Amino acid sequence: MVSQTNMTIMFIRPWGLPMIFVYCTLSGLAGVYNEWILKKYYTESLHLQNIYLYTYGSLFNFVPAVGIPLLYTRSFLQVNPFEGFSIYTWLLIGTQALNVQLIVVYQLLTAFPTSFGQYDIVAKENDDKTTRFFIVGDWGGLPVSPFDTPSEVAVADAMGKLGVKLNTTFQLALGDNFYYDGVQTVNDSRFQTTFEHVFSATSLQTPWYVLAGNHDHGGNVSAEIEYGKTSKRWIFPDYFYSFSLWQSDKQKKIIDFIMIDTVILCGGDTLSDWDHKPLEGPSNKHVAEAYWQWIEGQLRQSTAPYLLVNGHFPVYSVAEHGPTKCLVDRLRPMFHQYHATAYICGHDHNLQHLTNDMNGVHMNYFVVGAANFIDPSQEHAKYVPADALKFFWAGSPVYGGFGLAEVNNTHLSLSFIDHAEQTLYQAVMTTRS
Protein backbone atom coordinates (compact mmCIF):
# COMPACT_ATOMS: atom_id res chain seq x y z
CA MET A 1 0.00 0.00 0.00
CA VAL A 2 1.38 3.44 -0.90
CA SER A 3 0.03 6.94 -0.48
CA GLN A 4 0.24 9.41 -3.39
CA THR A 5 -1.45 12.78 -3.16
CA ASN A 6 -3.87 11.65 -0.48
CA MET A 7 -4.96 8.58 -2.53
CA THR A 8 -4.40 4.97 -1.45
CA ILE A 9 -3.53 2.52 -4.22
CA MET A 10 -3.18 -1.29 -3.96
CA PHE A 11 -0.67 -2.96 -6.27
CA ILE A 12 -0.86 -6.65 -7.25
CA ARG A 13 2.05 -7.80 -9.38
CA PRO A 14 1.51 -10.45 -12.12
CA TRP A 15 2.92 -13.23 -9.97
CA GLY A 16 0.73 -12.16 -7.04
CA LEU A 17 -2.48 -13.84 -8.26
CA PRO A 18 -0.95 -17.31 -8.77
CA MET A 19 0.75 -16.96 -5.38
CA ILE A 20 -2.62 -16.19 -3.79
CA PHE A 21 -4.03 -19.28 -5.49
CA VAL A 22 -1.15 -21.42 -4.24
CA TYR A 23 -1.55 -20.00 -0.73
CA CYS A 24 -5.29 -20.72 -0.62
CA THR A 25 -4.82 -24.22 -2.05
CA LEU A 26 -2.05 -25.15 0.38
CA SER A 27 -3.96 -23.64 3.27
CA GLY A 28 -7.07 -25.65 2.41
CA LEU A 29 -5.14 -28.90 1.96
CA ALA A 30 -3.26 -28.27 5.19
CA GLY A 31 -6.56 -27.82 7.01
CA VAL A 32 -7.96 -31.07 5.62
CA TYR A 33 -4.75 -32.97 6.42
CA ASN A 34 -4.63 -31.47 9.91
CA GLU A 35 -8.20 -32.61 10.58
CA TRP A 36 -7.43 -36.09 9.25
CA ILE A 37 -4.39 -36.40 11.53
CA LEU A 38 -6.35 -35.27 14.58
CA LYS A 39 -9.24 -37.68 13.94
CA LYS A 40 -7.47 -40.68 12.47
CA TYR A 41 -7.03 -42.75 15.62
CA TYR A 42 -9.90 -41.44 17.72
CA THR A 43 -12.73 -43.63 18.95
CA GLU A 44 -14.59 -40.68 20.49
CA SER A 45 -17.82 -39.37 19.01
CA LEU A 46 -17.22 -37.52 15.73
CA HIS A 47 -19.04 -34.51 17.14
CA LEU A 48 -16.80 -34.47 20.21
CA GLN A 49 -13.78 -34.63 17.90
CA ASN A 50 -15.07 -31.56 16.07
CA ILE A 51 -15.35 -29.69 19.36
CA TYR A 52 -11.71 -30.59 20.12
CA LEU A 53 -10.73 -29.38 16.65
CA TYR A 54 -12.52 -26.03 17.01
CA THR A 55 -10.87 -25.47 20.40
CA TYR A 56 -7.46 -26.35 18.98
CA GLY A 57 -8.03 -24.10 15.95
CA SER A 58 -9.10 -21.15 18.09
CA LEU A 59 -6.00 -21.40 20.27
CA PHE A 60 -3.74 -21.90 17.26
CA ASN A 61 -5.06 -18.73 15.59
CA PHE A 62 -5.05 -16.70 18.81
CA VAL A 63 -1.30 -17.16 19.33
CA PRO A 64 -0.14 -15.41 16.12
CA ALA A 65 -2.88 -12.78 16.47
CA VAL A 66 -1.28 -11.67 19.73
CA GLY A 67 2.28 -12.87 19.18
CA ILE A 68 3.04 -10.98 15.97
CA PRO A 69 2.02 -7.52 17.32
CA LEU A 70 3.90 -8.33 20.52
CA LEU A 71 7.00 -9.12 18.46
CA TYR A 72 7.02 -5.57 17.08
CA THR A 73 5.83 -3.59 20.11
CA ARG A 74 7.70 -5.57 22.82
CA SER A 75 4.89 -4.65 25.23
CA PHE A 76 1.59 -6.28 26.06
CA LEU A 77 0.14 -2.85 26.78
CA GLN A 78 0.65 -1.81 23.16
CA VAL A 79 -0.70 -5.02 21.61
CA ASN A 80 -3.90 -4.46 19.68
CA PRO A 81 -4.57 -7.36 17.31
CA PHE A 82 -7.66 -5.52 16.02
CA GLU A 83 -5.86 -2.36 14.96
CA GLY A 84 -6.99 -1.10 11.56
CA PHE A 85 -10.18 -3.21 11.43
CA SER A 86 -12.95 -1.47 9.50
CA ILE A 87 -16.68 -1.98 9.96
CA TYR A 88 -16.63 -4.37 7.00
CA THR A 89 -13.90 -6.43 8.64
CA TRP A 90 -15.92 -6.64 11.84
CA LEU A 91 -19.02 -7.61 9.84
CA LEU A 92 -17.08 -10.45 8.19
CA ILE A 93 -15.67 -11.61 11.54
CA GLY A 94 -19.11 -11.45 13.16
CA THR A 95 -20.81 -13.56 10.49
CA GLN A 96 -18.02 -16.15 10.62
CA ALA A 97 -18.15 -16.25 14.43
CA LEU A 98 -21.93 -16.75 14.35
CA ASN A 99 -21.52 -19.55 11.83
CA VAL A 100 -18.93 -21.33 13.97
CA GLN A 101 -21.02 -20.78 17.12
CA LEU A 102 -24.05 -22.42 15.52
CA ILE A 103 -21.91 -25.37 14.38
CA VAL A 104 -20.40 -25.81 17.86
CA VAL A 105 -23.86 -25.70 19.47
CA TYR A 106 -25.03 -28.38 17.03
CA GLN A 107 -21.98 -30.54 17.76
CA LEU A 108 -22.51 -30.17 21.52
CA LEU A 109 -26.17 -31.11 21.29
CA THR A 110 -25.29 -34.12 19.15
CA ALA A 111 -22.31 -35.25 21.21
CA PHE A 112 -24.27 -34.86 24.46
CA PRO A 113 -27.88 -35.45 23.39
CA THR A 114 -30.63 -34.34 25.72
CA SER A 115 -33.56 -35.37 23.53
CA PHE A 116 -34.65 -38.59 21.88
CA GLY A 117 -34.18 -39.58 18.30
CA GLN A 118 -37.25 -40.28 16.21
CA TYR A 119 -37.07 -44.03 16.75
CA ASP A 120 -35.61 -44.11 20.27
CA ILE A 121 -37.45 -45.96 23.01
CA VAL A 122 -37.73 -45.63 26.80
CA ALA A 123 -37.15 -48.68 28.98
CA LYS A 124 -40.12 -50.12 30.81
CA GLU A 125 -39.65 -49.81 34.54
CA ASN A 126 -39.37 -53.12 36.40
CA ASP A 127 -38.94 -53.79 40.12
CA ASP A 128 -35.54 -55.42 39.55
CA LYS A 129 -34.27 -52.41 37.55
CA THR A 130 -33.76 -54.65 34.51
CA THR A 131 -35.01 -53.92 31.00
CA ARG A 132 -35.81 -56.82 28.68
CA PHE A 133 -36.46 -57.27 24.98
CA PHE A 134 -36.86 -60.18 22.55
CA ILE A 135 -34.75 -61.05 19.51
CA VAL A 136 -36.24 -63.17 16.73
CA GLY A 137 -34.85 -64.04 13.32
CA ASP A 138 -35.95 -65.93 10.20
CA TRP A 139 -39.52 -66.05 11.43
CA GLY A 140 -41.32 -65.50 8.13
CA GLY A 141 -43.85 -68.35 7.88
CA LEU A 142 -44.79 -69.79 4.49
CA PRO A 143 -46.17 -68.33 1.24
CA VAL A 144 -49.06 -70.83 1.24
CA SER A 145 -51.86 -71.51 3.71
CA PRO A 146 -51.75 -71.42 6.71
CA PHE A 147 -48.89 -68.91 6.05
CA ASP A 148 -47.06 -69.89 9.23
CA THR A 149 -45.11 -72.89 10.55
CA PRO A 150 -45.41 -74.85 13.82
CA SER A 151 -42.09 -73.32 14.91
CA GLU A 152 -43.24 -69.76 14.26
CA VAL A 153 -46.50 -70.31 16.13
CA ALA A 154 -44.74 -71.97 19.08
CA VAL A 155 -42.12 -69.18 19.27
CA ALA A 156 -44.80 -66.49 19.10
CA ASP A 157 -46.77 -68.23 21.87
CA ALA A 158 -43.69 -68.52 24.12
CA MET A 159 -42.72 -64.89 23.50
CA GLY A 160 -46.24 -63.74 24.32
CA LYS A 161 -46.37 -65.61 27.63
CA LEU A 162 -42.84 -64.69 28.66
CA GLY A 163 -43.44 -61.08 27.65
CA VAL A 164 -46.19 -60.81 30.25
CA LYS A 165 -44.03 -62.31 33.00
CA LEU A 166 -40.98 -60.17 32.21
CA ASN A 167 -42.68 -56.95 31.05
CA THR A 168 -40.57 -56.77 27.88
CA THR A 169 -40.09 -53.43 26.14
CA PHE A 170 -39.72 -54.27 22.42
CA GLN A 171 -38.58 -56.81 19.81
CA LEU A 172 -35.74 -57.01 17.27
CA ALA A 173 -36.69 -58.80 14.04
CA LEU A 174 -33.59 -59.83 12.11
CA GLY A 175 -34.85 -60.45 8.59
CA ASP A 176 -36.41 -63.11 6.37
CA ASN A 177 -39.66 -61.72 7.60
CA PHE A 178 -41.71 -63.34 4.81
CA TYR A 179 -40.70 -66.62 3.18
CA TYR A 180 -39.85 -67.23 0.43
CA ASP A 181 -40.10 -64.12 -1.69
CA GLY A 182 -41.01 -61.30 0.66
CA VAL A 183 -44.12 -59.20 0.07
CA GLN A 184 -45.21 -57.40 -3.06
CA THR A 185 -47.14 -54.37 -1.81
CA VAL A 186 -47.89 -52.58 1.44
CA ASN A 187 -51.36 -54.18 1.33
CA ASP A 188 -50.00 -57.70 0.95
CA SER A 189 -52.05 -60.15 3.04
CA ARG A 190 -48.84 -61.68 4.44
CA PHE A 191 -48.51 -58.77 6.88
CA GLN A 192 -51.69 -60.07 8.52
CA THR A 193 -51.40 -63.83 8.07
CA THR A 194 -47.70 -64.21 8.92
CA PHE A 195 -47.16 -61.34 11.36
CA GLU A 196 -50.19 -59.68 12.92
CA HIS A 197 -52.26 -62.85 13.44
CA VAL A 198 -49.31 -64.91 14.72
CA PHE A 199 -47.57 -62.46 17.06
CA SER A 200 -50.90 -61.32 18.44
CA ALA A 201 -50.27 -61.53 22.21
CA THR A 202 -50.94 -58.34 24.14
CA SER A 203 -47.35 -58.29 25.45
CA LEU A 204 -46.06 -58.23 21.86
CA GLN A 205 -48.02 -55.09 20.90
CA THR A 206 -44.82 -53.17 21.60
CA PRO A 207 -42.41 -51.83 18.96
CA TRP A 208 -40.87 -54.27 16.49
CA TYR A 209 -37.58 -52.97 15.08
CA VAL A 210 -37.27 -54.69 11.71
CA LEU A 211 -34.53 -55.20 9.11
CA ALA A 212 -34.49 -57.08 5.80
CA GLY A 213 -33.05 -60.48 4.91
CA ASN A 214 -32.27 -62.05 1.56
CA HIS A 215 -35.80 -63.52 1.22
CA ASP A 216 -37.28 -60.07 1.81
CA HIS A 217 -35.13 -58.77 -1.03
CA GLY A 218 -36.71 -61.43 -3.24
CA GLY A 219 -39.84 -59.32 -2.99
CA ASN A 220 -40.40 -55.63 -2.33
CA VAL A 221 -38.49 -54.36 0.73
CA SER A 222 -39.82 -50.85 0.18
CA ALA A 223 -43.32 -52.22 0.84
CA GLU A 224 -42.10 -53.54 4.22
CA ILE A 225 -40.69 -50.08 4.94
CA GLU A 226 -43.94 -48.47 3.87
CA TYR A 227 -45.94 -50.77 6.18
CA GLY A 228 -44.39 -48.95 9.15
CA LYS A 229 -46.53 -45.93 8.26
CA THR A 230 -49.74 -47.84 8.91
CA SER A 231 -48.73 -50.26 11.67
CA LYS A 232 -48.48 -49.02 15.25
CA ARG A 233 -45.68 -51.44 16.14
CA TRP A 234 -43.76 -52.16 12.90
CA ILE A 235 -40.69 -49.88 12.87
CA PHE A 236 -38.72 -50.13 9.63
CA PRO A 237 -37.95 -46.58 8.49
CA ASP A 238 -35.15 -47.42 6.05
CA TYR A 239 -32.74 -50.13 4.93
CA PHE A 240 -30.22 -48.76 7.45
CA TYR A 241 -31.16 -46.90 10.62
CA SER A 242 -30.25 -46.54 14.27
CA PHE A 243 -32.02 -46.01 17.57
CA SER A 244 -31.27 -45.99 21.28
CA LEU A 245 -32.78 -47.47 24.43
CA TRP A 246 -32.96 -44.90 27.24
CA GLN A 247 -33.46 -45.23 30.96
CA SER A 248 -37.03 -44.80 32.16
CA ASP A 249 -36.19 -41.34 33.56
CA LYS A 250 -34.98 -40.31 30.08
CA GLN A 251 -31.66 -39.08 31.45
CA LYS A 252 -29.22 -41.60 29.99
CA LYS A 253 -28.81 -43.99 27.09
CA ILE A 254 -28.51 -47.68 27.90
CA ILE A 255 -27.92 -49.24 24.47
CA ASP A 256 -27.23 -47.91 20.98
CA PHE A 257 -28.61 -50.10 18.15
CA ILE A 258 -27.43 -50.02 14.54
CA MET A 259 -29.66 -51.83 12.05
CA ILE A 260 -28.01 -52.74 8.75
CA ASP A 261 -28.96 -54.38 5.45
CA THR A 262 -26.32 -57.00 4.72
CA VAL A 263 -27.76 -57.75 1.27
CA ILE A 264 -27.07 -54.19 0.09
CA LEU A 265 -23.55 -54.46 1.52
CA CYS A 266 -22.64 -57.94 0.26
CA GLY A 267 -25.18 -59.06 -2.36
CA GLY A 268 -27.36 -62.15 -2.16
CA ASP A 269 -30.77 -60.76 -3.05
CA THR A 270 -31.50 -63.90 -5.10
CA LEU A 271 -29.97 -66.28 -2.55
CA SER A 272 -32.07 -69.27 -1.48
CA ASP A 273 -31.61 -71.41 1.62
CA TRP A 274 -30.20 -74.17 -0.57
CA ASP A 275 -27.75 -71.95 -2.43
CA HIS A 276 -24.31 -72.06 -0.82
CA LYS A 277 -22.27 -70.31 -3.47
CA PRO A 278 -20.22 -67.25 -2.40
CA LEU A 279 -22.03 -63.93 -2.44
CA GLU A 280 -21.52 -62.03 -5.68
CA GLY A 281 -20.95 -58.67 -4.01
CA PRO A 282 -23.22 -55.62 -3.86
CA SER A 283 -25.40 -54.86 -6.86
CA ASN A 284 -24.43 -51.19 -6.55
CA LYS A 285 -20.91 -50.67 -5.22
CA HIS A 286 -21.33 -46.89 -4.84
CA VAL A 287 -24.45 -47.28 -2.71
CA ALA A 288 -22.79 -50.00 -0.65
CA GLU A 289 -19.73 -47.82 -0.04
CA ALA A 290 -21.92 -44.93 1.09
CA TYR A 291 -23.57 -47.23 3.62
CA TRP A 292 -20.19 -48.56 4.80
CA GLN A 293 -19.25 -44.97 5.58
CA TRP A 294 -22.57 -44.46 7.37
CA ILE A 295 -21.98 -47.56 9.51
CA GLU A 296 -18.52 -46.38 10.55
CA GLY A 297 -19.92 -42.98 11.43
CA GLN A 298 -22.60 -44.56 13.61
CA LEU A 299 -20.05 -46.78 15.35
CA ARG A 300 -17.70 -43.85 15.91
CA GLN A 301 -20.28 -41.56 17.48
CA SER A 302 -21.87 -44.15 19.80
CA THR A 303 -21.47 -43.22 23.47
CA ALA A 304 -23.86 -45.69 25.14
CA PRO A 305 -22.53 -48.30 27.61
CA TYR A 306 -23.56 -51.04 25.14
CA LEU A 307 -23.50 -51.03 21.34
CA LEU A 308 -25.40 -53.72 19.41
CA VAL A 309 -25.14 -54.04 15.63
CA ASN A 310 -27.87 -56.08 13.98
CA GLY A 311 -27.99 -57.57 10.49
CA HIS A 312 -29.20 -60.65 8.65
CA PHE A 313 -26.09 -62.39 7.30
CA PRO A 314 -23.68 -63.67 9.97
CA VAL A 315 -20.13 -62.48 10.38
CA TYR A 316 -19.23 -65.85 11.86
CA SER A 317 -21.34 -69.02 11.80
CA VAL A 318 -20.51 -72.71 11.93
CA ALA A 319 -23.76 -73.68 10.24
CA GLU A 320 -25.16 -74.13 6.73
CA HIS A 321 -24.13 -70.77 5.25
CA GLY A 322 -21.02 -70.17 7.37
CA PRO A 323 -19.10 -66.89 7.70
CA THR A 324 -19.82 -63.98 5.35
CA LYS A 325 -16.46 -62.94 3.87
CA CYS A 326 -17.67 -59.44 3.02
CA LEU A 327 -18.54 -58.82 6.68
CA VAL A 328 -15.46 -60.55 8.09
CA ASP A 329 -13.22 -58.38 5.93
CA ARG A 330 -14.94 -55.03 6.36
CA LEU A 331 -17.29 -55.04 9.35
CA ARG A 332 -15.36 -57.13 11.87
CA PRO A 333 -12.37 -54.71 12.10
CA MET A 334 -14.79 -51.83 12.76
CA PHE A 335 -16.36 -53.72 15.66
CA HIS A 336 -13.01 -54.05 17.38
CA GLN A 337 -11.87 -50.52 16.53
CA TYR A 338 -14.99 -48.93 18.02
CA HIS A 339 -15.52 -51.47 20.82
CA ALA A 340 -18.94 -52.78 19.82
CA THR A 341 -20.58 -55.11 22.33
CA ALA A 342 -22.09 -57.68 19.96
CA TYR A 343 -23.28 -58.42 16.44
CA ILE A 344 -26.65 -60.20 16.26
CA CYS A 345 -27.97 -61.84 13.10
CA GLY A 346 -30.07 -64.63 11.65
CA HIS A 347 -29.82 -66.43 8.26
CA ASP A 348 -28.66 -69.77 9.65
CA HIS A 349 -31.58 -71.60 11.23
CA ASN A 350 -30.26 -72.35 14.70
CA LEU A 351 -28.96 -70.57 17.80
CA GLN A 352 -25.24 -69.82 18.15
CA HIS A 353 -22.86 -67.80 20.31
CA LEU A 354 -19.32 -67.20 19.07
CA THR A 355 -16.59 -64.91 20.37
CA ASN A 356 -13.40 -63.52 18.90
CA ASP A 357 -10.62 -61.22 20.13
CA MET A 358 -8.72 -58.73 17.99
CA ASN A 359 -6.19 -56.15 19.18
CA GLY A 360 -7.15 -56.90 22.77
CA VAL A 361 -10.85 -56.18 22.18
CA HIS A 362 -13.41 -58.93 22.87
CA MET A 363 -16.37 -59.31 20.50
CA ASN A 364 -19.55 -61.40 20.69
CA TYR A 365 -21.39 -62.86 17.71
CA PHE A 366 -24.92 -64.27 18.09
CA VAL A 367 -26.95 -66.14 15.49
CA VAL A 368 -30.68 -66.09 16.30
CA GLY A 369 -32.35 -67.67 13.26
CA ALA A 370 -34.44 -70.51 14.67
CA ALA A 371 -37.96 -69.10 14.75
CA ASN A 372 -39.37 -70.76 11.61
CA PHE A 373 -37.12 -73.62 10.46
CA ILE A 374 -34.43 -75.62 12.28
CA ASP A 375 -31.17 -76.80 10.67
CA PRO A 376 -28.61 -78.79 12.69
CA SER A 377 -25.78 -78.43 10.15
CA GLN A 378 -22.32 -77.46 11.42
CA GLU A 379 -20.60 -77.89 8.08
CA HIS A 380 -18.64 -74.62 8.42
CA ALA A 381 -17.19 -75.31 11.87
CA LYS A 382 -13.65 -75.29 10.49
CA TYR A 383 -14.15 -71.89 8.86
CA VAL A 384 -14.47 -69.91 12.10
CA PRO A 385 -11.56 -69.05 14.44
CA ALA A 386 -10.40 -71.82 16.75
CA ASP A 387 -12.41 -72.04 19.98
CA ALA A 388 -14.78 -69.32 18.77
CA LEU A 389 -17.95 -71.38 19.16
CA LYS A 390 -19.35 -71.22 22.70
CA PHE A 391 -22.85 -72.59 22.12
CA PHE A 392 -24.88 -74.21 19.33
CA TRP A 393 -28.49 -75.37 19.39
CA ALA A 394 -30.77 -76.93 16.80
CA GLY A 395 -32.25 -79.41 19.22
CA SER A 396 -35.85 -79.50 18.12
CA PRO A 397 -36.67 -80.46 14.52
CA VAL A 398 -40.14 -78.90 14.84
CA TYR A 399 -40.22 -76.17 17.47
CA GLY A 400 -37.79 -73.28 17.39
CA GLY A 401 -36.21 -70.74 19.69
CA PHE A 402 -35.49 -67.03 20.12
CA GLY A 403 -33.37 -64.58 22.09
CA LEU A 404 -34.02 -62.65 25.30
CA ALA A 405 -31.81 -59.68 26.18
CA GLU A 406 -31.71 -58.28 29.73
CA VAL A 407 -29.83 -55.12 30.69
CA ASN A 408 -29.27 -53.27 33.97
CA ASN A 409 -26.64 -50.99 35.50
CA THR A 410 -23.96 -53.69 35.67
CA HIS A 411 -24.32 -56.00 32.69
CA LEU A 412 -26.13 -57.05 29.52
CA SER A 413 -27.09 -60.69 29.06
CA LEU A 414 -28.44 -62.53 26.04
CA SER A 415 -30.25 -65.83 26.61
CA PHE A 416 -31.48 -68.40 24.13
CA ILE A 417 -35.03 -69.57 24.92
CA ASP A 418 -36.91 -72.53 23.44
CA HIS A 419 -40.62 -72.89 22.63
CA ALA A 420 -41.29 -74.15 26.17
CA GLU A 421 -39.87 -70.92 27.67
CA GLN A 422 -36.83 -72.82 28.96
CA THR A 423 -33.45 -71.08 29.01
CA LEU A 424 -30.99 -73.01 26.88
CA TYR A 425 -27.95 -70.77 27.36
CA GLN A 426 -26.96 -67.34 28.63
CA ALA A 427 -24.03 -65.07 27.78
CA VAL A 428 -23.16 -62.08 29.98
CA MET A 429 -21.47 -58.94 28.63
CA THR A 430 -20.06 -55.95 30.49
CA THR A 431 -20.01 -52.29 29.50
CA ARG A 432 -17.71 -51.07 26.74
CA SER A 433 -14.20 -50.00 27.68
Q: Could you count the other beta carbons within 10 Å of the beta carbon of residue 413?
A: 15
Residue 3, phi then psi, degrees to nearest 5: -115, 125
Which is more confident, 318 or 397? Answer: 318
The answer on pLDDT for 89 being more than 80 is no
Average pLDDT over every residue of 371-380: 95
What are the domain boundaries of the chain? 18-111, 118-429
pLDDT in the model for residue 77: 60
**What's this model's pTM, rounded to 2 decimal places?**
0.76
> Which tens digits make up the pLDDT trace of 337-348?
999 999 999 999
Angle between helices 46-73 and 87-111 (to 10 degrees): 150
Angle between helices 285-301 and 46-73 (to 10 degrees): 70
Portion of the chain with pLDDT greater than 90, in percent: 65
pLDDT band at 296 (very low <50, low <70, confident <90, very high): very high
Segment holding 321, helix H or strand E:
none
pLDDT in the model for residue 292: 96
Separation between Cα atoms, residue 392 and residue 351, nearest integer Å: 6
118-429 homologous superfamily: Metallo-dependent phosphatases (3.60.21.10)
pLDDT in the model for residue 120: 95
First to last CA, the chain: 59
pLDDT in the model for residue 1: 47
